[in-house]
């Protein structure tokens, strides 16, 4: 191997293309730093200059898709993709068509696949160097666009007046969802009590921030109410809801972050986010964003308490 050969992003892309090509074999020309068809290399020219590419089979591609689905937090598409992988027929085409339905999931898949393939190529390349007694090298320009997913695919804006009725209905659906295992009549009491002292969603004290795709599809919303007393001001988040098909991308955190930026511009003192029911599971995911625990509400099941006292 040519000791001066470096694994640039362009060369890695060439190697990955050659690996995935099922119609033709390719080799790496270490002198020219490029991938060439194996049938264009004379047999007496092979050796240190030309190196076979890492093996890549259909089963490797399938395993990579399985690994991606295991990392996918979106419940709807995770279930659909798992069903496709288990179907055993037309898996690759079905998988490709399904991730293409949501640009953000397709982008995540491409980023995941790119990183996995680049890591594989880097490991193979450094193994070759070690066999030649050369030091291992870091992969050049290995950054991916994963962290830019939300910025590229989602936007945040104030809700339009004509959307408020729909968002109010979604607020109730979201409330029912986090208490879906509780008695419906009890949940109704929870909802009435929690909204009784809150201004209407159309009130001047309410702020509603809509999350949408770059294509204009509604993805979720944040509804907050601001209270003021003298110089003090506190915003209470009434609802933070992301539609199921858009979950798993960090949208809830980014929606909250966007709202807090606006709160800072309006010079609000505090923002309070209450979690209840199933939403309590989200506390850990928000803990790294400067939130601190302010209060805890305890609930007593009277019948269960009575049985424990008299048993």
Distance of CA 207 to the CA centre of its chain: 26
Contacts 24+ apart (CB under 8 A), 30-39: 30/1, 30/2, 30/5, 31/2, 33/2, 33/5, 33/6, 33/8, 35/11
Q: In this predicted model, which residue has the larger pLDDT, 164 or 284?
A: 164
Share of the chain above pLDDT 90, in %: 50
Highest mean pLDDT among 7-21, 45-59, 219-233: 219-233
* 218-229/154-158 β-pairing: unpaired
Under the banding of pLDDT at 50, 70 and 90, the label for residue 32 is confident
What tokens does 71 get? 């990392």
CA-wise closest residue to 161 among 99, 216, 210, 112:
210
Dihedral sign for Cα 60, 84, 217, 188, please.
negative
The confidence band for 71, taking pLDDT boundaries of 50, 70 and 90, is confident
- Judged by DSSP in three states, 31 sits in coil
| Model confidence pLDDT, tens digit, residues 132-158 | 888 887 765 544 444 456 666 889 999
Contacts of 72 (CB under 8 A, 6+ apart): 78, 81, 105, 108, 248
Mean pLDDT, the chain, as a whole number?
87
**∠ at Cα 104 (90, 77), nearest 5°?**
50
- Find the angle CA(166)-CA(172)-CA(174) to the nearest 5 degrees: 100
Q: Which CATH number fits domain 151-303: 3.40.630.30, 3.40.50.280, 3.30.200.20, 3.30.470.20?
A: 3.40.630.30
Q: Beta-strand (E) ranges in 215-261?
A: 218-229, 232-242
In this predicted structure, the answer to whether residue 119 has a pLDDT above a threshold of 80 is yes
Q: What integer pLDDT is reported at residue 149 of this predicted model?
A: 61
How many angstroms separate the CA atoms of 183 and 301, rounded? 12
Pair 78, 85: CB distance under 8 Å: no
* Cα 133 to Cα 117: distance, rounded to the nearest angstrom: 24
* Token duo for residue 156: 């945040």
Query: What confidence tens digit (pLDDT) does each residue in 249-274 have?
Result: 788 888 998 999 999 999 999 999 99
Q: What is the mean pLDDT of residues 190-196?
A: 94
Instruction: Give CA–CA dist 164/166, Å, rounded.
Output: 5
Residue with tokens 């050969």: 5
Query: Going by C-beta distance under 8 Å and a sequence separation of 6 or more, which residues neighbour residue 206?
Result: 199, 200, 223, 224, 225, 238
Long-range contacts of 263-272, Cβ-Cβ distance < 8 Å, separation of 24 or more? 263/235, 267/233, 268/226, 268/233, 268/234, 268/235, 269/232, 269/233, 269/234, 270/233, 270/234, 270/235, 271/224, 271/234, 271/235, 271/237, 272/234, 272/235, 272/236, 272/237
Query: With 70 as the cut, is the pLDDT of residue 227 above it?
Result: yes
Question: Domain extents for the chain?
Answer: 151-303
Apex CA 126: angle with CA 123 and CA 132, to 5°?
A: 145
Q: Per-residue confidence at 289, pLDDT binned at 50, 70, 90?
A: low
Task: Report the half-sphere exposure of 204 (CA within 13 A, side-chain side).
Answer: 1
């Amino acid at each position: 191997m040519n000791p001066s050969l470096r694994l640039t992003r362009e060369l890695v892309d060439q190697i990955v293309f050659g690996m995935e090509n099922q119609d033709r074999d390719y080799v790496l020309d270490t002198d020219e730093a490029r991938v060439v068809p194996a049938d264009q290399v004379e047999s007496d020219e092979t050796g240190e200059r030309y190196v076979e590419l890492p093996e890549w089979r259909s089963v490797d591609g399938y395993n990579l898709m399985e690994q991606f689905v295991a990392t996918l937090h979106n419940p709807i598409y995770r279930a659909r993709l798992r069903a496709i992988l288990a179907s055993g027929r037309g898996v690759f085409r079905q998988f490709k068509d399904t991730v293409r339905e949501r640009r953000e999931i397709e982008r995540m898949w491409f980023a995941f696949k790119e990183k996995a393939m680049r890591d594989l190529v880097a490991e193979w390349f450094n193994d070759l160097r070690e066999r030649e007694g050369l030091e291992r090298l870091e992969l050049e320009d290995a950054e991916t666009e994963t962290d830019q997913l939300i910025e590229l695919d989602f936007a945040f804006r104030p809700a339009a007046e004509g959307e408020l009725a729909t968002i109010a209905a979604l607020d109730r659906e979201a409330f029912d969802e986090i208490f879906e295992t509780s008695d419906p009549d009890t949940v109704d009491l929870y909802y009435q009590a929690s909204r009784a002292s809150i201004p209407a969603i159309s009130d001047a004290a309410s702020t509603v921030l809509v999350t949408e795709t770059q294509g204009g599809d509604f993805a979720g919303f944040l509804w907050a109410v601001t209270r003021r007393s003298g110089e003090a001001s506190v915003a209470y988040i009434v609802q933070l809801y992301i539609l199921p098909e858009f979950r798993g991308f960090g949208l809830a955190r980014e929606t909250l972050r966007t709202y807090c930026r606006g709160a800072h511009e309006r010079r609000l003192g505090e923002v309070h986010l209450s979690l209840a029911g199933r939403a309590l599971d989200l506390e850990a995911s928000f803990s790294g964003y400067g939130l601190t625990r302010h209060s805890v509400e305890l609930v007593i099941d009277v019948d269960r308490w009575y049985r424990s006292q008299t048993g």
